[in-house]
Amino acid sequence: MFLAVEIGDWDRFTGASIGAYLGLTPTEHSSGSSRRLGPITKAGNPHIRLLLAEAAWHHRPGYRVGTTLQARFDAATPAQAARGHEGNLRLHRRWVHFTTQHKRTTIANTAIARELAGWCWSLATTR
């Protein structure tokens, strides 16, 4: 809900630009053929970034549909429930991928938060 209030018009973004707007993309120092990526830019609303980072941590443990989530899936249309379920599975699979690649958890969490922002954008702009 907070994302919808803070962002307002989702149509002004693309799936790639929402991460940059929220400051979840790395800084870049490039010259000629050399390209170096630094820490995230931290542009945009810090509260949204914090909420996305906190939500990303929840996708780290194994994903199981509990009674509360099952009740929400039952209240949604089958297409919405399937999309929500697949999105949660995808974010958990990304955590597993980063863990097997021995990425630092804070860096992995930022990448998951950026992907979560893109997923929220896709949900908000789907007609």
Q: What confidence score (pLDDT) does residue 126 get?
A: 83
Q: 26 has which bridge partners?
A: 40
Q: Give the mean model confidence (pLDDT) for residues 47-70.
A: 92
Distances (CA, A) of 23 to 42, 59, 62, 106, 123: 4, 20, 28, 15, 20
Q: Give the mean model confidence (pLDDT) for residues 43-60.
A: 93
Q: What angle do CA 22, 26, 27 make, to 5 degrees?
A: 105
**Residue 110 neighbours by CB distance under 10 Å:** 21
Pairing of strands 34-40, 26-31: antiparallel
2 pLDDT tier (thresholds 50, 70, 90): confident
Q: How much is the mean pLDDT over the chain?
A: 92
pTM: 0.87
Dihedral of CA atoms 87, 120, 81, 75 in degrees, nearest 10, equals 150
What pLDDT, in 10s, does the model give residues 69-84? Answer: 899 999 999 998 999 8
Residue with tokens 């707007």: 21
Rounded CA separation 3/112 (Å): 16
